[in-house]
Amino acid sequence: MFATYQYKRFPYVLSPEQASGRIVRHPVVIVGAGPIGLTAALDLGRRGISVVVLDDNDTVSIGSRAVCYAKRPLEIFDRLGCADKLVAKGVSWNVGKVFFGDELRYSFDLLPEDGHKMPAMINLQQYYLEEDLIAAAAKLPNVEFRWKHKVVALRQAEDHATLHVETPDGVFAMEAHWILACDGANSALRDMVGAQFTGQFFQDRFLIADVVMKADFPTERWFWFDPPFHRRQSALLHKQADDVWRIDFQLGWDADPVEEKKPEKVIPRVRAMLGEGVEFELEWASIYQFACRRIDKFRYGRVLFAGDSAHQVSPFGARGANTGVQDIDNLGWKLKLVLDGAAPLALIDSYDEERAYAADDNLRHSTRSTDFISPKSETSRRYRDAVLELAGEHAFARPLVNSGRLSTPTPYVASSLNTPDETPFVGKMAPGANAADAPTLVGGKPGWFLEQIGDGFTLVVFGAPPPVEAVAFGAIAARVRVVGRDFEDSKGLLRERYDAREGAVYLFRPDQYVAARWRAFDAEKIQRAIARALAA
Amino acid sequence: MPLNLQPNIPDPDGFYQELIDSQRDMSAEQAEMMNCKLVLVLANHIGDREVLRAALKAAGGKMG
């Protein structure tokens, strides 16, 4: 059925611990080898933690599934050393068009700000992302993949948890200091810990079809409300790699999910959309319905939830995988420092504080988009249609059109890890914000700011070098990088984005978020800010 | 400026007639669509979220 993609199978291997019956306690076991589990394997692996990844299957995502990757997740993949290939393979796009009936009513441009290494958004089939992440993680000696391993039971203890895992060779037990539950929206681990997973279910069904065609459609996101080829519902057309196009059709609640997935039902819908004479091949089709809900706590004892197991959103806005990758960005360094004894357990709890806050922000956006796209009453549909009719003629109505607000990172504005500003700064780089990129010159060669701050605590000093090369708190040393000495702010964008007059100092966390900033270098204040960012 | 709930429309009878006349030849459905548009147009003109919230409440809306 797949003309453009060959699914690799990963071999099941009987592990020595199952063969011997000897129980081994691992630092971290990751359950689920989807985009989130794989990002975790790569991040933790690169931080030097031994990880075992369990997956109940033995291949990558079937079908394109999560196809839009936004700038921040791409920056994270860049930190993990695998963004270039994703960006080269993916399709970059900026323009979105919204049609009502057969008329164009609104168009937007993501208008990416200049001077960032990563594009605003790429479209790429999920299987390509997973393939790249697996290849990158498999190169690390401390990352082990175990395919056809299904968790069937969990038992928690004070300082570890025990998993019972089923393989083709039977059931065996393994222990872990920490378990990352990246096992998706239907997470079995979530049931095993007895967590609540509550929110809003939407009574609507959508058909996704991946279609291969050589078409002249521009590389834009096209969204239709009530199009002539699919009355009373919405539709979406989006380009992916290999001339594969993603098409979504809203079907309504009464649609039969089994019937609607059949090629004889799907193909006529696609033909009606594309018009006669456009040759295409149907590659994959799936029916989904969705909910907007989240887990009550991201941590249950020794089990940490990330990605769809912790929060499920509607697909409008590409907030699923993009948010999940950022969960791991937040968790990876915290887990490393706690495992090393360099930070207290409270640092792990800040994962729940910060990412539950981000999840709520995402859920709010996602729910609002869904209310616009899939109105729950005739009156709300009428308001929606009124907005769309007005948007063609009147500028004021265009910002009300909501065909999905595309994923952007949520700043942790109220996080307990932030050190509040003592003096005013302008711009967006407040404590709790993710660092904005900017072009730099390093040894005369062009580079990027985010590469300079890397993946550890980092102090960036604007102006005269301070008397020290690092500021330490306990086992943690924040290394000093001086703008103008270690690298150049080649376009002046760094100073502009950080409101960095002479003497300004920024403290970045290992996930490239701003922890604190000052107008002058003061080692004692920096130490206190590091302590605070460690929840110490 | 807080929401003005005191008389503010000059020639109230004239305005009321204009409002009714503007929908005289419409079906109920057309009129409802126009009402939605009218709410949106006026809301944008007001702009102030506090005033809009007070207006939703004054009209009997359920406020969270």
Contact list in A for residue B36 (CB cut-off 8 A) is 382-383, 385-386
Contact list in B for residue A390 (CB cut-off 8 A) is 37, 40-41
Average pLDDT score, chain A: 95
C-alpha distance from B43 to closest chain A C-alpha (Å): 10
Contact list in A for residue B40 (CB cut-off 8 A) is 383, 386-387, 390, 397, 400
Contact list in A for residue B37 (CB cut-off 8 A) is 386, 389-390
Q: Which of A364, A387, A396, A401 to mutate to test the interface with B (most CBs of B within 10 A)?
A: A396
Kindly tell me the sign of the dihedral angle through the C-alpha atoms of A335, A341, A345, A350.
negative
Rounded mean pLDDT, A237-260: 93
Query: Is B59 part of the contact surface with chain A (CB cutoff 8 Å)?
Result: no
Phi, psi of A233 (to 5 degrees): -125, 180
C-alpha distance from A448 to closest chain B C-alpha (Å): 41
Confidence band (pLDDT; 50, 70, 90) for A216? confident
The confidence score (pLDDT) of residue A48 equals: 98
Residue A500 in this model has a pLDDT that exceeds 80: yes
Give residue-wise pLDDT tens across range A199-213.
988 888 999 999 999
Q: Which two tokens stand for residue A512?
A: 């490239």
Q: Which residue, A351, A347, A310, A346, is CA-closest to A330?
A: A351
The confidence score (pLDDT) of residue A330 equals: 98
A172, with CB counted inside 10 A (0-12, 13-18, 19+), is: buried
Which pTM was predicted? 0.94
Cα A231 to Cα A211: distance, rounded to the nearest angstrom: 21
Residue A5 in this model has a pLDDT that exceeds 90: no
Q: What is the DSSP string of A292-316?
A: EEEES-SEETTEEE-GGGTEE--ST
- Find all residues with CB under 8 Å of B46, minimum gap 6, and list them: B52, B55
Contact list in A for residue B33 (CB cut-off 8 A) is 382, 385-386, 389
C-alpha distance from A403 to closest chain B C-alpha (Å): 18
Q: Which two tokens stand for residue A69?
A: 């990757």
C-alpha distance from A205 to closest chain B C-alpha (Å): 26
Query: Is B41 part of the contact surface with chain A (CB cutoff 8 Å)?
Result: yes
Rounded mean pLDDT, A122-127: 95
The class that CATH gives domain A439-533 is alpha beta
Of A383, A394, A396, the CB nearest to B36: A383
Assigned CATH for A18-86+124-200+293-368: 3.50.50.60
Residue A1 in this model has a pLDDT that exceeds 80: no
The confidence score (pLDDT) of residue A289 equals: 86
Kindly tell me the sign of the dihedral angle through the C-alpha atoms of A27, A31, A34, A35.
negative
| Burial track A248-272 (b if 16+ CB lie within 10 A, e otherwise) | bbbbeeebeeeebbeeeebbebbee
Q: Which of B34, B40, B41, B62 to mutate to test the interface with A (most CBs of A within 10 A)?
A: B40
Task: Give the A-side interface with B, CB within 8 Å.
Answer: 382-383, 385-387, 389-390, 394, 396-397, 400
Query: Computed over its alpha carbons, how large is the radius of gyration of chain B?
Result: 14
The confidence score (pLDDT) of residue A444 equals: 92
Of A382, A394, A396, the CB nearest to B36: A382
Residue A496 in this model has a pLDDT that exceeds 80: yes
User: Could you tell me the end-to-end alpha-carbon distance of chain A, in angstroms, rounded to an integer?
Assistant: 55
Q: Which of A368, A382, A393, A402 to mutate to test the interface with B (most CBs of B within 10 A)?
A: A382
- Find all residues with CB under 8 Å of B23, minimum gap 6, and list them: B30, B31, B34
Confidence band (pLDDT; 50, 70, 90) for B1? confident
A521, with CB counted inside 10 A (0-12, 13-18, 19+), is: buried
Confidence band (pLDDT; 50, 70, 90) for A113? confident
Q: Which of B34, B37, B62 to mutate to test the interface with A (most CBs of A within 10 A)?
A: B37
Q: Which two tokens stand for residue B25?
A: 């030849």
| Burial track A307-326 (b if 16+ CB lie within 10 A, e otherwise) | bbbbbbbbbbbbbbbbbbbb
- Find all residues with CB under 8 Å of A229, minimum gap 6, and list them: A235, A269, A272, A273
| Burial track A124-144 (b if 16+ CB lie within 10 A, e otherwise) | bbbbbbbbbbbebbbebebbb
Query: Computed over its alpha carbons, how large is the radius of gyration of chain A?
Result: 24
C-alpha distance from A398 to closest chain B C-alpha (Å): 11
Q: Which residue has the tokens 């506090």?
A: B50
Q: Which residue, A163, A197, A157, is CA-closest to A180?
A: A163
Contact between A272 and A148 (Cβ < 8 Å): no
Q: Is the CATH number 3.30.70 carried by domain A206-288?
A: yes
Asked if B33 and A385 come within 8 Å (Cβ–Cβ), the reply is yes
The confidence score (pLDDT) of residue A64 equals: 84
The confidence score (pLDDT) of residue A409 equals: 96
Domain ranges across chain B: 26-64
Q: Which residue has the tokens 């969990």?
A: A154
Confidence band (pLDDT; 50, 70, 90) for A452? very high
Give residue-wise pLDDT tens across range A6-33.
888 999 999 999 999 999 999 999 999 9
Give residue-wise pLDDT tens across range B19-54.
999 999 999 999 999 999 999 999 999 999 999 999
Confidence band (pLDDT; 50, 70, 90) for A387? very high
B19, with CB counted inside 10 A (0-12, 13-18, 19+), is: exposed
Confidence band (pLDDT; 50, 70, 90) for A191? very high
Domain ranges across chain A: 18-86+124-200+293-368, 206-288, 439-533
The confidence score (pLDDT) of residue A202 equals: 85
Phi, psi of A349 (to 5 degrees): -70, -25
Confidence band (pLDDT; 50, 70, 90) for A94? confident
C-alpha distance from A15 to closest chain B C-alpha (Å): 55
Kindly tell me the sign of the dihedral angle through the C-alpha atoms of A170, A171, A175, A181.
positive
Give residue-wise pLDDT tens across range A284-310.
999 988 889 999 999 999 999 999 999
C-alpha distance from B37 to closest chain A C-alpha (Å): 5
The confidence score (pLDDT) of residue A203 equals: 87
Q: Which residue, A215, A154, A120, is CA-closest to A409?
A: A120
B14, with CB counted inside 10 A (0-12, 13-18, 19+), is: exposed
Confidence band (pLDDT; 50, 70, 90) for A77? very high
- Pairing of β A311-312 and β A291-295: antiparallel
Cα A327 to Cα A306: distance, rounded to the nearest angstrom: 6
What's the ipTM?
0.97
The confidence score (pLDDT) of residue A270 equals: 94
Rounded mean pLDDT, A167-182: 98
Q: Which residue has the tokens 């807080």?
A: B2
Residue A214 in this model has a pLDDT that exceeds 90: no
Residue A445 in this model has a pLDDT that exceeds 90: yes
A432 DSSP 8-state letter: T
Kindly tell me the sign of the dihedral angle through the C-alpha atoms of A397, A399, A400, A403.
positive
Q: Which two tokens stand for residue A2?
A: 């797949």
Give residue-wise pLDDT tens across range A128-142.
999 999 999 999 999
| CB–CB contacts below 8 A, A to B | 24
Rounded mean pLDDT, A431-438: 98
